[in-house]
Structure 1
Amino acid sequence: MNAIKKIFKGIAYILLIPFLYIFISLILSWISVDRIDPSPKVHQPIYLTTNGIHLNIVLHKKHLNSTLRSGLKLDQGDQYLSFGWGDENFYLNTPQWSDLTLGNAFNALFLKSKTLMHVTRYQNKQNDWVRVEVSQAELQKLNDYILNTFTKDINNHLIRLKHQGYTSRDDFYKAKGSYSLFKTCNTWVNTGFKKSGLKSCLWTPFDFGLLDKYE
């Protein structure tokens, strides 16, 4: 009987871990980090967009600094670019949520892995984007944060994966960092806002954590 009790206790502890993770994540998502400059001279709009789980930052191409803009693939008519960061294997092998496997999810969350920047190009602003007003100084810091996430080659060029986008409107680029349970695609966006001096969550692995601050 003691052995059976130990087994059930061990199972209970294992099941408790994801509940604690979600509970703590929700609390930290709810806690706000205030904007560094409470009354900035706001000049430019940026946007947040999500597919329901994965959050992205959207900038108009004229708001990209010259180094970042020159390193990206741009087609005639492209006006807006969204930036997302995530696990390489997950990005390339899980284009739809129906393609998700337990192995891909486990590797992304728990094992050290390579990462990619996912850049999608738009010709027009989308109605479901969430608008965020920023100052020129905040915009520059956000540009620097995005640019510094890209891996560069020996000539300081961004490294684009050829023929790897989901459609003709998006591309993948090599990125820095390793995805984990504590550093997700959404924590990357939230950290970018925090480092840029914008209102953000204390920490969040969810897309709604940051969206709720601006909707």
Structure 2
Amino acid sequence: MGNEIGLRVWRAASWLAGTLLFVVLAYATAGLIGGTIPINADWKPPATGGVRILVEDNGIHTGLVLPVRAAGIDWSQDFPAGDITDPRYARFDWVAVGWGDRAFYVETPTWADVNVLTVLRAATGSTRTVLHVEHVAEPPVAPDTRAIMLSEEQYRKLAAYVRATRGPGGKVAGGYGVNDVFYDGRGRYSAIRTCNEWAGGALRGAGVRIGAWTPFPVDVMAWF
């Protein structure tokens, strides 16, 4: 009897492990395929003028690096100096903005901080979302940073998207250091709408050529 029960447990565990592996592989495959299907395929940067932005990738989260003042948008009104620990950093001319699940964002700034339970909770869906805003100098264009030129109209569309994903609750927590902060977010985070899909959605909405679904960093960065 004991051997029979043990065999059933082993079979159940094997089935569960196999199912989880299939789900993970299917999700990864779908994400990579979705990231290769172009939206706004005829997009081109403006021939002259426009607004220069950057897209950055820390290996987990992608975000947008935006000029504090451009095309009639003034982020110093949205993200005032008094909200960060050291207001002197607000004299920088750029803000780096990302969106995501509050627990996942706060607890996983790098791969070394990834916790399986945190990832699973976020993947199943959460409305406790945040905007992460960092006051920065202009980042150099590097393998983890890309520069994009937008028309002023495209930039204003992107700004409207960012503002629409900020919730009514204001500042919710300090950031990772003295120059960043978390604000209440709006929208539901899940395995379908990740922080990277947020960044991809901002660019799609602005009319930039990017993949139809961008759940992973590579889905965003590979286009630029």
TM-score category (smaller protein): 0.7 to 0.9
In 2, Cα distance between equivalents of 1:185 and 1:130: 17
What is the identity percentage for the equivalent residue pairs of Structure 1 and Structure 2? 24
Is the Cα–Cα contact under 8 Å of residues 64 and 143 in structure 1 kept in the other structure? Answer: no
User: Is 1:63 aligned to residue 70 of structure 2?
Assistant: yes
Corresponding position of 2:200: 190
Deviation at residue 30 of structure 1 after TM alignment: 1.3
**C-alpha distance after superposition, 1:43-92 (max 9, x if no partner):** 22111111122101111112275464312123452111111001111222
Map of 1:1-215 to 2, 5 A cutoff? 7=12, 8-9=14-15, 11-35=17-41, 38=44, 40=46, 42=48, 43-63=50-70, 65-66=72-73, 68-74=75-81, 75=88, 76-128=90-142, 129-152=145-168, 159-162=170-173, 164-214=174-224
Corresponding position of 1:156: none
Deviation at residue 183 of structure 1 after TM alignment: 0.7
Secondary structure class of the residue paired with 2:167:
coil
Gaps of 5+ in 2: 82-87
Aligned length: 208
Is the Cα–Cα contact under 8 Å of residues 51 and 71 in structure 2 kept in the other structure? Answer: no
Gaps of 5+ in 1: 154-158
Deviation at residue 13 of structure 1 after TM alignment: 3.1
In 1, Cα distance between equivalents of 2:206 and 2:162: 11
Is the Cα–Cα contact under 8 Å of residues 85 and 185 in structure 1 kept in the other structure? Answer: yes
Is the Cα–Cα contact under 8 Å of residues 190 and 200 in structure 1 kept in the other structure? Answer: yes
In 2, Cα distance between equivalents of 1:133 and 1:39: 5
Q: TM-score, normalised by structure 2?
A: 0.82
Change (3 A) 1:127 1:103: same
Change (3 A) 1:77 1:169: same
**Which sits farther off after the overlay, 72-81 or 200-209?**
72-81
Change (3 A) 1:127 1:112: closer
Change (3 A) 1:11 1:51: closer
Change (3 A) 1:38 1:177: same
Q: TM-score, normalised by structure 1?
A: 0.85
Is the Cα–Cα contact under 8 Å of residues 90 and 105 in structure 1 kept in the other structure? Answer: yes
